[in-house]
Amino acid sequence: MNDFVFQNKTKIIFGKDSEERLASLLTPYNSRVLLVYGGGSIKESGLYDKIVSMLNDNGIKFSELSGIIPNPRLRKVYEGIELCRSENIGFILAVGGGSVIDTAKAVSAGVRYDGDVWDFFEGKAELQACLPIGVVLTIPAAGSESSPSLVITKEEGLLKRDYSHNELRPQFAIMNPELTYSLPFYQTACGISDMLAHIMERYFTKTEHVDVSDRLCEGLMRAIISNAKLVKQNPDDYNARAEIMWAGTLAHNDLIGMGRETDWASHAIEHELSAVYDIAHGAGLSIIFPAWMKHVYREDEERFVQFAQRVMDVEFPNSMVYETIMEGISRLENFYTCIGLPTRLSAVGIDSSRLEEMAKKANSCGRFKRLDASDIYKIYRLALE
Ligand code: NZQ
Ligand code: ZN
């Protein structure tokens, strides 16, 4: 096991009606709030009205940055930075999912930086100061509610890039599973795929003696798979929604990755897809992850057998190593299919025309196996049909 330091400052307020605690969480900051949200789901569900009433009733002044789209764009970040400066904002409240939260984080990082906020994503600057952020989570998926990371797409050149800094972890995350009942099942499924991927990016490691975090990963993956099926049967199953929501946070708050090297190639390869084709991140991952597995399993067959046996319940004889590995991957694909997600590029209308270009852009990623552009191209080809 590798050495590590673990600290996660995000206070989680979890459960029914937990959004009612919002005003008391904001009051100590005693500042004008920037309310950030997406395309309208919070207005349809009534959450927007509820939050606005709470802010008004408690004398908390606020401005709004709305219309954040999935795979959020840099233009909105610039708009938010201008708003924060002109309206003297002291706290950013993100109400939504990863796209909204990541925009809030980028705005938070940019407000007190004199240069272009994109510098952070290009490794040209390190964060020195930022505004505090709070979250009301409406979709369990990206784990951004307590992660230090953010992912933004620059329109020019369609560059989807990430940045990470511990100071960008939200101060609090309000998580009421009931707020997720209104999600279309496809969005729920995309979220489930993303959280599974966050676990697998950590699970497939070359670090030895990581029993505790292996078991945490395996338990989480099993719980996600079984509760996903329950949510599919009954979208209003509170307990299943709660399990999925909590799993999404645990998948990406860094706890399960401590002491082990992590990979992140599948994410880098997927980010090129969602930048160029604007597909949902989770749907891109259900296509890329199995293809990545088929390309890299020879790096550590034992680990892939362990995944097949402990997570996917494959019980072939010990001598059938290759068959066990392939059956594990095939059961993962069947799970994605069972929750309505694609497992091939052709299923989302993507052909081979831009694979080479994307492979070059994602060049040099991954740690379980270091991948160059030619590896990445092979992975896209494996994902094609
Ligand atoms: O915009 P609205 O109208 O709110 O609709 C959203 C959006 O269309 C909808 N939605 C959210 N909550 C809802 C709802 N619809 C009905 N009822 C609700 N309760 O869901 C759609 C997707 O929202 P989005 O925020 O894009 O989803 P997600 O949380 O999956 O975030 C995806 C983004 O996060 C990035 C991804 O790359 C992608 O850009 N990631 C961020 C990470 C991080 N910060 O740590 C890590 C991840 O690996 C990921 O890369
Ligand atoms: Zn992800």
The domain limits of the chain are: 11-179, 184-384
Which atom of ligand 1 is closest in space to residue 187's alpha carbon? 20
What is the reported pLDDT for 282? 98
Query: Nearest CA to 196 among 231, 157, 233, 222?
Result: 222
Alpha carbon distances (Å) from 237 to 79, 138, 226, 240, 241: 39, 16, 13, 6, 6
What is the reported pLDDT for 231? 98
Looking at every residue in the chain, the average pLDDT score rounds to 98
Q: Taking CB atoms and a 6 Å cutoff, what residues make up the pocket around ligand 1?
A: 38-42, 70-72, 96-100, 102, 138-139, 141-144, 147, 149-151, 179-180, 182-183, 187, 190-191, 194, 252, 267, 281
What is the reported pLDDT for 96? 98
What is the reported pLDDT for 335? 98
Question: Spelled out in words, what is the top-level CATH class assigned to the domain 184-384?
Answer: mainly alpha
**For residue 268, how far is its CA from the centre of ligand 2 (angstroms)?**
10
What is the reported pLDDT for 357? 97
Q: Whose CA is nearest to atom 31 of ligand 1?
A: 98
What is the reported pLDDT for 354? 97
**CA distance linking residue 292 with residue 294, whole number of Å:** 5
Q: Whose CA is nearest to atom 32 of ligand 1?
A: 98
Q: Which residues contact 192 (CB under 8 A, 6 or more apart)?
A: 141, 224, 228, 244, 282, 339
pTM for this entry:
0.98
- pLDDT, tens digit, for every residue of 32-78? 999 999 999 999 999 999 999 999 999 999 999 999 999 999 999 99
| Pairing label, strands 159-164, 149-154 | antiparallel
**For residue 300, how far is its CA from the centre of ligand 2 (angstroms)?**
23
Which atom of ligand 1 is closest in space to residue 68's alpha carbon? 1
**For residue 247, how far is its CA from the centre of ligand 2 (angstroms)?**
13
**For residue 328, how far is its CA from the centre of ligand 1 (angstroms)?**
28
Pocket test for ligand 1, best of 69, 74, 99, 158 (most atoms within 8 A of CB): 99
- pLDDT, tens digit, for every residue of 184-216? 999 999 999 999 999 999 999 999 999 999 999
**For residue 310, how far is its CA from the centre of ligand 1 (angstroms)?**
30
**For residue 194, how far is its CA from the centre of ligand 2 (angstroms)?**
5
pLDDT in tens, the chain (385 residues): 999 999 999 999 999 999 999 999 999 999 999 999 999 999 999 999 999 999 999 999 999 999 999 999 999 999 999 999 999 999 999 999 999 999 999 999 999 999 999 999 999 999 999 999 999 999 999 999 999 999 999 999 999 999 999 999 999 999 999 999 999 999 999 999 999 999 999 999 999 999 999 999 999 999 999 999 999 999 999 999 999 999 999 999 999 999 999 999 999 999 999 999 999 999 999 999 999 999 999 999 999 999 999 999 999 999 999 999 999 999 999 999 999 999 999 999 999 999 999 999 999 999 999 999 999 999 999 999 9
Q: Does domain 11-179 have CATH number 3.40.50.1970?
A: yes
